[in-house]
Homo-oligomer: A and B are copies of this chain.
Amino acid sequence: MQNFRLHTPTQIIFGEGQVDALKDLLPHGTRILITIGGGSVKQNGVLDQVMTALKDHEVDLFEGIEPNPKYETLMQAVEQVRQQHYDLLLSVGGGSVLDGTKFIAAAAHYDPSEDPWRFVEAGGLGIKQAMPIGCVLTLPATGSESNANSVISRLSTGQKLGFASAKVIPQFAILDPTHTYTLPTRQVANGVVDAFVHTIEQYLTYPVNARLQDRFAEGILQTLVEEGPRALAEPHNYEVRANIMWSATMALNGLIGAGVPQDWATHMLGHELTAVYGLDHAQTLAVVLPSLLQVQRTQKHAKLLQYAERVWGLDCSDPEHAIERAIEKTRAFFESMGTPTTLAGYDISNPDLDLLVKRLETHNLTQLGEHQDIDLAKSRLIYQMAS
């Protein structure tokens, strides 16, 4: 096991009807700015639940944080926050609304003579303080509800950058599985695939004898494999939604990544597919991961065997065959979620490998993976095998 630090300070309030807890969580007199996205939380009644719980509180609303939240939009909220002096930001929605809210929280306390984009470009460095954040999460996927991460886009420059700061970890997160009943199928599938690949990135590397972290990761993967397809078949099955929601949080709150090597090459290669072809984030992961596992199967050999045996219950007496089947099963799982695993599956017939590799080079992503041995040639091969 490697040395590590782990801090998961977000109070989790989980279950049906837990939005009610807001009225006791937040002292009277707390001035709250609620942040939402495009309005789905208005249509499905979640915002009404929040407003009812906070009917004796001072509440304002900021609407319109987009998927892939935009700096330009968020700066309007920053302006409002600076004028109104709220005590807390309450994000009601999915990971994008929450990521945007993290930016607002940090920008509100940033030196007003500086452009807050500076701390985004610095990856979060320079954030000395931030407003307290709470959230009511409606889309289990990114783990943003209990971690320090945020991804923000800027229209004027075409940039999409991540930043991280312990100051923007939400103080509390309300997770009500019934809030996910009305999600479109594609978003449910994306959330499951996203959580699955988050787990893989922290698990499928090389062994460091971190037995508990491995088993926790395997537990998340098995749960997603069992419950993912059921979530599509039985959208109002509470237990299924609860298991998925909790798995998604646990997949990226730091727990399973503590003390172990991490990969994240699938994410890096996926980002370029989103940028060039507009695929959903989770779709890019489903496309890249199976190819990446093939290309890296020597480096990942020991962990691939463990994955084959423990997650997929495969007979490992013929190791190479078991690994082959584990990769096939991974692919079949994504496909069973309605998520194609090749670029052809998204009608991209001749992917521009030169462009994709050139973009990686431009972004200085020339040494990826837990061994930093995925160079541009390997990345090209992974894209090619994913065509």
A residues with a Cβ closer than 8 A to B are 1-9, 11-18, 209-216, 218-220, 222-223, 226-227, 239, 242-243, 246-247, 250, 258-259
Contacts and interface: CB of A to CB of B under 8 A. Distances in A.
24 contacts: A1-B14, A1-B242, A1-B243, A1-B246, A3-B14, A3-B17, A3-B18, A4-B14, A5-B11, A5-B12, A5-B14, A6-B11, A6-B14, A7-B9, A8-B8, A8-B9, A209-B243, A211-B222, A211-B226, A211-B227, A212-B247, A214-B219, A215-B215, A215-B220
Given A212-B250, A246-B1, A258 B14 contact: yes
By Cβ-Cβ distance, the 4 closest A-B pairs, closest first, are: A3-B15, A215-B219, A9-B9, A7-B11
Contacts of A9: 7-9, 11
A98 B319 CA distance: 48
A305 to B, nearest CB: 18
Contact of A218 (B3, B215, B259): B215
B226 A259 contact: no
Given A8-B8, A9-B9, A219-B219, A212 B246 contact: yes
Contacts of A216: 215-216, 219
Given A212-B219, A218-B219, 14 more contacts: A1-B15, A1-B242, A3-B14, A3-B17, A3-B18, A4-B14, A8-B8, A9-B11, A209-B239, A212-B243, A214-B219, A215-B216, A215-B218, A215-B220
B15 A243 contact: no
Contacts of A18: 3
A3 B258 CA distance: 27
Interface centre among A2, A17, A243 (most CB of B within 10 A): A243
A85 to B, nearest CB: 27
